[in-house]
Structure 1
Amino acid sequence: MSDAERKMQFLYQLRSKGVTDKRVLTAMEKIDRGAFVRGLFADRAYEDMPLPINCGQTISQPSVVGLMTQALNVQPRDKVLEVGTGSGYQAAILSVLARRVYTVERHRRLVNEVREVFECQNLPNITVITGDGSHGLPDQAPFDRILVTAAAEDPPGPLLAQLRVGGIMVLPVGQSDAVQSLIKVTRTDDGFDYDELRPVRFVPLLEGLGKE
């Protein structure tokens, strides 16, 4: 299959799963998922499935990345916080849509790997930080958008506090070994509105730093 055919099939898969936002589809066409998948699974980079990466983590399936990005409704002037960098694929897509992306990862090894990839892909508006993402980044707050790529039992308080009024946070919520729900939280003048989007499965949001 040629690269062009593979790209068309990739975009068709996304559309068939409900990713219809033109800006999101354009960003996902621009960012090559193959650059973020290494080793044994490199030849499966364009299939709509999660794949294992280092440190026991996964790169999410593209349709879920697309649906989360679509729900986040990122605008060109937005400052975005991502909790759980993983492979860096989601942050790369956000970087096409936003002014600035801050992404926090607890595994130092993954941070070093993605910095290299971002440099090779020429994505200078992403800042990668080794840290405990459940605390957010108070120094850079408030954020217009926050995306969490690991499941918590409830939306973490520090992250809610770092969301600008009118801002949106998208995250999976639920027990880590059960089905979780993808939730969209919108901060209003007098509190938070919650929308349940769809069932998902993500690794749990853990506190502290990883061993690697």
Structure 2
Amino acid sequence: MNIRLVEKEGFAALVLRLRAEGVADTTLLSAMEQTPRTMFVGAAHAPHAYENRLLPIDCGSFAESPDLIARLLSLASLAPGQRVLDVGTGSGFTAGVIGRIAERVLTIDRYKTLVQLAQQRYSHLAITNVVARQGDGIKGVPGEGTFDRIVVTTAFETMPRHYVDFLVSEGIMVAPLRDKDGTIRLSRFTKIGSRFEREDFFEVPYLPMIAGRASAL
């Protein structure tokens, strides 16, 4: 398998799909191109790295499609100089892309294995402004100050009102939220004063958030 060819052809196909979806942010696309996705999905799945589908990763988790990541990050309005919190490290790809744009990124996951693998990938790619840490997504990161942007890739069961304390004024959080009918949709929360202004978007395949840090993995 020619990894360079997979990256080149896969990324070109991704860009075409994203343009059809109305995602044409050149800064975001450049960040994704600079973060080789084949390094984040494992050798067995590398040929499918840029396909619009879920791929299995360690700890029974999955890597969402690059299409979904691009659509999610486009809603976050990322920009240079921002401090970003990524909840749900997974393969580490999402935080890696964010790190190509923002100034500092803290990514947390309940699985220590995923955190360690992600940090190894960042080191290999010389992404020095992303820190991966094991943590409880429901609690967030008390004591870490505030963030300009928060990106969440595991679903909240109820409105995450306490997360308003982790955002700067007019900061943005993009997160999946379960509806009353059980459907999980991606929402964007903008901090206005001490409350959130909420906008709902499309359905997403994210799983509900589990409390606590995993002890075995």
Confirm or deny a common fold (TM above 0.5).
yes
Over 3 Å counting, the alpha-carbon distance change for 1:140 and 1:11 in structure 2 is same
Match of 1:137 among 130, 135, 141: 141
Are 1:160 and 2:164 an aligned pair? yes
Q: What TM-score do you get using the length of structure 1 for normalisation?
A: 0.93
- Report deviation, 1:170: 0.3
Partner of 1:49: 53
Q: CA RMSD in A?
A: 1.8
Q: 1: distance between equivalents of 2:66 and 2:159? A: 23
CA drift of 1:190 comes to 5.1
Q: Distance in 2 between matches of 1:155 and 1:39?
A: 38
Matched, 1:33 2:51: no
Instruction: Spell out, residue by residue over 1:116-154, the C-alpha distance to the aligned partner (whole angstroms, 9 max, x if none).
Output: 111001100001111112211122221110011001122
Residue 126 of structure 1 aligns with which residue? 130
Conserved? CA contact 2:189–2:196, under 8 Å = yes
Structure 2 residues without counterparts, runs of 5 or longer: none
The answer to whether residue 84 in structure 2 is matched with residue 80 in structure 1 is yes
Sequence identity, in percent? 32
Q: One-letter code of the match for 2:79?
A: Q
- What amino acid is aligned across from residue 75 of structure 1 in structure 2? A
Secondary structure in structure 2 of the residue aligned to 1:168: strand
**Structure 1 unaligned blocks of 5 or more:** none
My pick for the range that moved more, 65-74 or 153-162, is: 153-162
Q: Is the 8 A contact 2:164 2:195 kept in 1?
A: no
Q: Secondary structure at the match of 1:118?
A: helix
Deviation at 1:7, TM superposition (A): 2.6
- Matched-pair contact (CA < 8 Å) for 1:134–1:159: no
Q: Does 1:98 align with 2:102?
A: yes
Residue aligned with 2:143, SS? helix
Greater CA drift, 182-191 or 11-20: 11-20
Of stretches 115-124 and 20-29 in structure 1, the one that deviates more from structure 2 is 20-29
TM-score, normalisation: structure 2: 0.91
Q: Which moved more, 1:23-32 or 1:164-173?
A: 23-32
When structure 1 is superposed on structure 2, of 92-101 and 182-191 the one drifting more is: 182-191
Instruction: Give the whole-Å Cα distance in 1 for the aligned partners of 2:50 and 2:194.
Output: 43
* 1:164-183 deviation digits (Å, cap 9, x = unpaired): 111000001006x9431110
What is the DSSP-based 3-state SS (H/G/I as helix, E as strand, rest coil) of the residue aligned with 2:138? helix
Does the 8 A contact of 1:151 with 1:180 survive in 2? yes
| 1:6 aligned residue (7, 10, 14) | 10
- Secondary structure of 1:117's aligned partner: helix
SS at match of 2:127: coil
SS class of match (1:81): strand
